[in-house]
Structure 1
Amino acid sequence: MIKYLFKYLLIVLLAVGFTACSEDEGAQILGGLYEKVDITPEPGMNLVGRVTDGKNPIEGVVVSDGFTVTATDAQGVYQMRVKKSTPFVFVSVPADCEIPLKDGFPAIYKKISLGDRDVVQRSFTLERTGKKERFTLLALADVQIGRDDEVVMLEKEVLPLLVPYVQQELDKPVYGISLGDLVWDNMPFHSVYKEQIRKIGVPVFQVIGNHDHDKAIGVDTEADHSFRSAFGPTYYSYNIGDCHFVVLDDVLYTGSSNYTAEITEAQMAWLEQDLKYVPKDKLIILGVHIATSRRNRPTSHVANYRELYELLDGYNVRILSGHSHNNYTTTISETIEENTLGAVMGAYWNGEELCNDGSPRGYAVYEIEGNRIKNWYYKGTAYPEEYQMYLYGPGQAVSEKYRDGLIFNIFNWHSTWTVEVKEDDAAWTTLPSGSNLKYEMDRRAYDFMFGETVPEHRPTAEPESNCDHMFYYKPSSAAWNEVTVKASDPYGNVYTERIRNTAGQ
């Protein structure tokens, strides 16, 4: 009888063992009575795995659970000690491998489910394709769908213009990154977002935004449950060519739409470890939702930005952010620049097709060669890439002191650009970046709220004081016929627009 009871108990334990083996591999349970793991764990290690190309091991692949960062050995094996609550393990895909996909989205992670005494194995198979010398990056910000009618606008107005441009006009290969606020507080819409964004036809990595948190939950690490269920970890890294991509969660959520802009200490510690595996000659592209910089606006930048910049010191870094629905660029140091992008949804899907700063709703395109950004531009979804400014005529400014002149809204302007003006047949004149008696660039966007004479082009939500790309110019002659504006960026692009004097016509 005892023999049969023991045999029955052993069968039950074996069945439990199989049940505990989540996903594709096994677990060691109950002190080793059953073990499906085929890698011998080192003392204290409870997560092991192997990275291969399907046949051969891949050495030196960086693997992390978001706390510990390690690399595979000559046999392609990694080992680490993880907490029971750790939800994911992810691989920082090396530069000579293709980004793995599942249902059209990057699949660089696997779920972990640990019991009290489990050893879990999670392995990855990567495709070796060789390091890419050049590629194109598509950067989206604030898609932010929250209602059915907004999904219709995304599906019928935006994607029919965006998808052909990406598929037919951009140099291949193309990879994407979406900079947070994928949805607008409507957690089930994460699956709707996925259905729409996969239509672009390129791998798109996701950043978590404040509106991607569950308003009903006041704990940051729990309020992100919907995002994690749809997309995996909220911070991670990967490599394409000579670029090392890092995605961070800089929204510290406290529930009911309340949050602060802050990168947790756990992420900072992880990033410090991650960068130890990244040579200094790599270009770092960092994706976040809320701008890390904009230090003149203390409530709109990351609180612990100094610690972040210290970790990034010594690298050439381009930070990509969204959140403000405005375009602006900040030079942080000689080696760190931040591009904050206008929104795919514009100023809140209001039908005006504009962002808060008067720039068209759209996205950014980066052309990358080796470890440098060869070119980049902001593209209005409904406009050609050459459309980079809008010129307002006399009387179209709300602020009375500017109604006697012209206003130039150069959507993607930065202090590294050159802006020149030509009045009729006169010589070109360069506008200064600051202010003087004749030419003035005011950094307060509300001074340039435009009247109802041009409602299709005025900013459609109250702008904040972070718009720095509007210029005031007063023609030298009241009898001017045509003013031409030429804006040149540091990448060799020259954009030109003209405005005619319609007074008296």
Structure 2
Amino acid sequence: MDPTEARPAPATHSCRHSLGRGLLMALALAVPPAAIAAEPCNAGYVFENRDPANGQVVDGPGIPDVKVSDGVHIVTTDADGRYELPAVDGRTTFVIKPPGYAMPDRGNGLPDYWRNLRTQPGPPVRFGGIPVEDANCRNFPLVPAAAGDDELQVLVFADPQVKSEVDVDYYHRDIIQPLLEQGANADLGLTLGDVVDDDLSLYPALNAHTASLGVPWLHVAGNHDMDLDAGRDDDALLSFRHVFGPDTFAWEEQRATFLLLDDVIHQPGQSPAYIGGFREEQFRFLEAYLPTVPVERLLVVALHIPLFEPDGRDTFRDADRERLFTLLSRFPNVLLLSAHNHTQQHVFHDATSGWQGSEPLHEFNVGAVCGAFWSGVEDAQGIPDTTMADGTPNGFARLRVGAGGQYALSWHPARLPAGDPALTEAMALHAPRVLRRGAYPAWGVYANVFMGMDDSRVEFRIDDGAWKPMRRVERPDPRLLVENVRDDEAIALRGFDRSPEAQPGKHLWRGALPTDLEAGEHRVEVRVFDPWTGEQRASTTYELQDAGE
């Protein structure tokens, strides 16, 4: 315990409210009444919830050996389920949910695993921060959950980044409503930051839509989730924490352990205004927690800013990355999930980025729910196309975790148009509509394979002929280039914001189209061998014409 931190009196069965009458009288004689009322309590019970209507009232047996933390210290509950932590104003206390249990609802659809301790007003921020509340003892109920042998199913959202009620409506109709119609089929949900686009007053409206899925949902903070008027990094997530709880915490399932980290360092008055990294207290939490985590489970580390630095830009503090990698090196199965870039790619860390493990460390940089910031031409339902700059359609990911730390990932575009074989969940194809028969074969079919990696096997064939390999290229997706040209040539806005400028991506393949075939239409079929979802196909056509037709 820090010498500056006051430790509260040990908790009894109902914390301070169950103190015996004689002890209460003695306290009343020894301590002024105002001092008793002001004394904060950061202790209580973790118990088995037998009557959800009673909320925090202990109505079941205490649960031993449950980890409880304030983001710096970690304690485990005793044989009776009691815990006690230093009462430090401004910190957030949370239960690290153990496998075999679920968390009850806070009343707004979010799991009830945390409380903020705030007895004195904090720094004033535009969106309110953490309000002063009664600092009574806090009991945490856990609901027993049957442990099965099925895969763990996780929905992964990145960057909803709504800036208005209009965007909140897009989020509902483009992402949430289709999931409700299909069935969410998930045990857990993650949002990897930039829940909103600086307007933190939109949290309740957005959360109401997410909560309608009926899935326990955890949130990482992004650079657009900060109190931008905070004078220091320590205060930059006060309003976020008021709604969503701790910014650095853990959550345990039978198949996987989830470590959710704030990795945005607020730098008020500097340029850039933020950088990727971690605070010292976060490392104190990690150093206390990670040695307790079983290595046979998959360890999922969820954060907002990627740990890789694109194009050599200095976006993350190298020392913080290497320190995190050292802490993770004991785990044989680690998956990093990041967001922020509004493009999608897989990165495998090795010694060049500070990873010293025997196998490369996989980071999946997840594409954005909002795609290119809810931009582009609206469809018949009034929802913008919002394809990302690398040609990936907006949507969300799924993570499936099986036994032994094995996992599978998939990308799910939002509301694919029906009847277009060139645009599937796995890829989008682009080919010229017509070529001159006998011309030099300088034109190709392009396949943007949304989950593609450097070594992905991608092949194409013409008219049911022999399969031929396609070549990975780092070029802008021509499908998006077409939209760029249409925006350039338009004399009026085609949408609220135009589509993003096409940028080279990491998952585009090309195959040269033959021109020595008969005149007429020819079918192009592309297949990709996805390691997690199996063989996926898409198709398109092009026509060969003789000159002068």
Per the normalisation by structure 2, the TM-score is 0.75
Shift of 1:360: 1.1
Shift of 1:131: 3.1
For 2:140, the equivalent position in structure 1 comes to: 124
- Aligned mate of 1:50, from 41, 45, 48: 45
RMSD: 3.4
For 1:352, the equivalent position in structure 2 comes to: 385
Secondary structure of residue in 1 paired with 2:292: coil
Structure 1 CA distance for aligned equivalents of residues 116 and 223 of structure 2: 24
Gaps of 5+ in 2: 1-10, 31-39, 50-59, 121-133, 351-358, 376-383, 435-439, 488-497
CA deviation map 1:9-28 (0-9, x unaligned): xxxxxxxxxxxx9xx96499
Q: How does 1:76-475 map to 2 (within 5 A)?
A: 76-82=81-87, 84-102=88-106, 103-113=108-118, 121-133=137-149, 134-167=151-184, 170=185, 173-255=186-268, 258-294=273-309, 296-301=311-316, 303=318, 304-315=320-331, 316-332=333-349, 334=359, 336-350=361-375, 351-383=384-416, 387-394=425-432, 404-431=443-470, 439=471, 441-445=472-476, 450-452=481-483, 460-463=499-502, 467-475=505-513
Retained in 2: the 8 A contact 1:317–1:335?
Answer: no
Higher deviation after alignment, 96-105 or 293-302: 293-302
CA deviation map 1:329-381 (0-9, x unaligned): 11225263111111111101112231221111100012222343443210001
Q: Are 1:59 and 2:64 counterparts?
A: yes
2:234 counterpart letter in structure 1? T
Structure 1 CA distance for aligned equivalents of residues 535 and 250 of structure 2: 34
Secondary structure of residue in 2 paired with 1:188: helix
Retained in 2: the 8 A contact 1:388–1:410?
Answer: yes
Q: Are 1:73 and 2:81 counterparts?
A: no
Shift of 1:470: 0.8
Structure 2 CA distance for aligned equivalents of residues 402 and 313 of structure 1: 49
Retained in 2: the 8 A contact 1:392–1:406?
Answer: yes
Secondary structure of residue in 2 paired with 1:376: strand
1:331 counterpart letter in structure 2? F
Equivalent pairs counted in the alignment come to 453
CA deviation map 1:300-352 (0-9, x unaligned): 45642221111111211111111111111112252631111111111011122
Shift of 1:190: 1.3
1:95 counterpart letter in structure 2? P
Q: Are 1:498 and 2:539 counterparts?
A: yes
CA deviation map 1:420-441 (0-9, x unaligned): 222334322234xxxxxxx3x2
Retained in 1: the 8 A contact 2:411–2:425?
Answer: no
Structure 2 CA distance for aligned equivalents of residues 340 and 99 of structure 1: 28
Retained in 1: the 8 A contact 2:103–2:141?
Answer: no
Over the matched positions of the two proteins, sequence identity in percent amounts to 25
Structure 2 CA distance for aligned equivalents of residues 30 and 386 of structure 1: 72
Higher deviation after alignment, 46-55 or 489-498: 46-55
Closer, same or farther: CA 349–422 of 1 in aligned 2, 3 Å: same
Shift of 1:220: 1.9
Secondary structure of residue in 2 paired with 1:176: strand
Shift of 1:161: 1.5
Higher deviation after alignment, 92-101 or 473-482: 473-482
Closer, same or farther: CA 473–301 of 1 in aligned 2, 3 Å: farther
For 1:6, the equivalent position in structure 2 comes to: none
Retained in 2: the 8 A contact 1:342–1:363?
Answer: yes
Shift of 1:91: 0.6
Closer, same or farther: CA 32–254 of 1 in aligned 2, 3 Å: farther
2:278 counterpart letter in structure 1? I
Retained in 2: the 8 A contact 1:243–1:370?
Answer: no
Closer, same or farther: CA 426–125 of 1 in aligned 2, 3 Å: same
Shift of 1:453: 9.1
2:103 counterpart letter in structure 1? I
Per the normalisation by structure 1, the TM-score is 0.81
